[in-house]
C-alpha cells in the first residue's frame, strides 16, 4: 500500500457507506489521547525521545494477534511527506493541522479503509481516532476502546489513580476521550436559529467548531460538535451527553427544513437550482462560494428537490475542491486564481457526469 492510496481519493472507504441520520450528520468521530509513561510529553520531548515513541508504536503494531482493522495498516512519517501531501490528509480529516505543521518526529498509522487514524507525537504521544459515517458515536467509541485496550497490552500509559490518563492539555485529562460529530445545518442558518442554538450548546459543556476543529472556519454550514471536558466523567457519560444534544440539533434542523418547505418552498427551490446552475457553469469559483453552493445542493438532494444528484458526489466535492486536493490533482503548485479556475472545472465535470 502506498501513500497515493490515501491521497488520490477524496472519499475514504468508510464514507461510502450511509450511516444513520446521514442527511444531517455527515460523520461521527472518537479520539482517545494517550501518553507513554517514562517519556516527556511531545512539547518537551527531544527528537530522540519522540523517535522512541514511534519505535514503540511500531513494535506494538507487530504484536500478535493483530487487531483485524490494523492488518493492512500503514505507518507514514510526516518528515517523508510533502507539505501538499500532508494538507490532503488534513482535508480528509486523517491527521490534524497540528500534526501536519508543528509535530517533531510526527507520524500516522492509517487503516486500509481510513476509518482508523492513529496520530503519533501530535499534542500527545498517541491519539487513536475512529471515524464512522452518519450518527454513530457509540460505535466509534467501541472501536476506539478496543484499539486502546489492544495497544495497552504492549504499551505502558501515563496514568494517575486520582486524575486518570495524563495528557498535555488539562481539558483531556481523565478519560482522554474527545467525541464529535460533523453536522450539516443549512436550514438553521437560513432561518437565523443557529446563533441562538450554539450558545445554549456551549452552556452544557459541548463545543461547536469549524470544519477542521478548533480554530477553523465553518464552511458550507458544516460544524463539529464535541465534548470539552473529560475529567470526572465516564466515557459512556460523555458519549451519551453528546448524543442527547446532537439529537436535539437534528430535530431543530429537521423542523427548520419542514418550515422552509411549507412556507418558502419556491424561493428554496430557486436557491437550490441557482446554486446547481452556478456549480454546473461557473468558470471561476472560490473555495468559500463552492462550499456554500454545495451546501445548498446537498440540502436540495436531502429534501428531494433534486433527484439526479448524489449526496455522495456532494460529499466528495466538498473535499476535492479544497486547496490541497486541487493541487494534488493538478500535480503542481497553484496560486489562488489558478485554484479558483481548476475548482470550477472540476465541479462542472462532476455535475455534468451526474446529468
Residue numbers belonging to the annotated binding site for ATP: 27-31, 93, 127, 178-182, 209-214
Residue 277: φ, ψ to 5°: -65, -40
Alpha helical stretches, state H, the chain: 3-7, 47-61, 83-91, 97-101, 137-152, 186-190, 194-202, 235-263, 265-281, 287-302, 311-320, 323-330, 336-354
Residues whose CB falls within 8 Å of the CB of residue 132, separated by 6 or more in sequence, listed in order: 14, 19, 27, 28, 29, 115, 139, 140, 143
Q: Which of 105, 99, 112, 83 is nearest to 31 (CA)?
A: 99
Is residue 112 within 8 A of residue 73, CB to CB? The reply is yes
**C-beta atoms surrounding 206 within 10 Å:** 22
CA separation for the pair 308, 145 (Å, rounded): 40
Nine cell digits for residue 320: 476535492
CA separation for the pair 150, 145 (Å, rounded): 9
Which residues carry a binding-site annotation? 27-31, 93, 127, 178-182, 209-214
Nine cell digits for residue 187: 436550514
Amino acid at each position: 500500500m502506498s501513500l497515493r492510496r490515501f491521497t488520490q481519493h477524496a472519499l475514504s472507504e468508510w464514507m461510502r457507506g450511509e450511516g444513520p441520520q446521514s442527511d444531517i450528520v455527515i460523520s461521527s468521530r472518537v479520539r482517545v489521547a494517550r501518553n507513554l509513561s517514562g517519556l516527556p510529553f511531545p512539547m518537551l520531548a527531544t527528537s530522540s525521545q519522540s523517535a522512541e515513541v514511534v519505535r514503540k508504536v511500531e513494535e506494538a503494531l507487530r504484536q500478535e494477534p493483530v487487531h483485524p482493522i490494523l492488518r493492512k495498516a500503514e505507518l507514514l512519517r510526516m518528515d517523508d511527506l510533502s507539505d501538499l501531501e500532508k494538507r490532503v490528509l488534513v482535508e480528509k480529516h486523517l491527521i490534524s493541522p497540528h500534526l501536519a505543521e508543528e509535530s517533531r518526529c510526527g507520524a500516522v498509522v492509517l487503516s486500509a479503509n481510513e476509518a482508523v487514524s492513529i496520530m503519533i507525537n501530535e499534542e500527545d504521544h498517541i491519539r487513536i481516532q475512529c471515524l464512522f459515517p452518519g450518527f454513530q458515536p457509540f460505535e466509534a467509541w467501541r472501536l476506539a476502546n478496543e484499539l486502546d485496550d489492544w495497544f495497552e497490552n504492549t504499551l505502558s500509559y501515563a496514568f494517575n489513580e486520582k486524575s486518570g490518563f495524563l495528557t498535555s492539555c488539562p481539558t483531556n485529562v481523565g478519560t482522554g476521550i474527545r467525541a464529535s460529530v460533523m453536522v450539516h445545518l443549512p436550514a438553521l442558518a437560513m432561518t437565523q436559529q443557529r446563533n441562538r442554538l450554539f450558545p445554549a450548546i456551549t452552556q452544557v459543556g459541548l463545543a461547536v467548531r469549524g470544519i477542521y476543529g478548533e480554530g477553523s472556519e465553518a464552511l458550507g454550514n458544516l460544524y463539529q460538535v464535541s465534548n470539552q471536558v473529560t475529567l470526572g466523567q465516564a466515557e459512556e457519560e460523555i458519549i451519551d451527553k453528546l448524543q442527547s444534544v446532537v439529537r436535539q440539533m437534528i430535530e431543530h434542523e429537521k423542523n427548520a427544513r419542514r418550515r422552509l418547505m411549507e412556507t418558502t418552498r419556491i424561493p428554496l427551490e430557486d436557491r437550490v437550482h441557482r446554486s446547481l446552475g452556478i456549480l454546473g457553469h461557473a468558470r471561476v469559483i472560490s473555495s468559500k462560494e463552492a462550499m456554500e453552493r454545495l451546501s445548498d445542493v446537498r440540502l436540495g438532494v436531502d429534501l428531494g428537490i433534486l433527484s439526479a444528484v448524489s449526496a455522495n458526489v456532494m460529499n466528495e466535492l466538498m473535499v476535492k475542491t479544497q486547496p490541497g486536493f486541487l493541487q494534488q490533482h493538478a500535480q503542481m503548485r497553484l496560486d489562488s486564481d489558478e485554484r479558483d479556475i481548476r475548482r470550477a472545472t472540476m465541479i462542472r465535470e462532476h455535475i455534468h457526469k451526474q446529468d
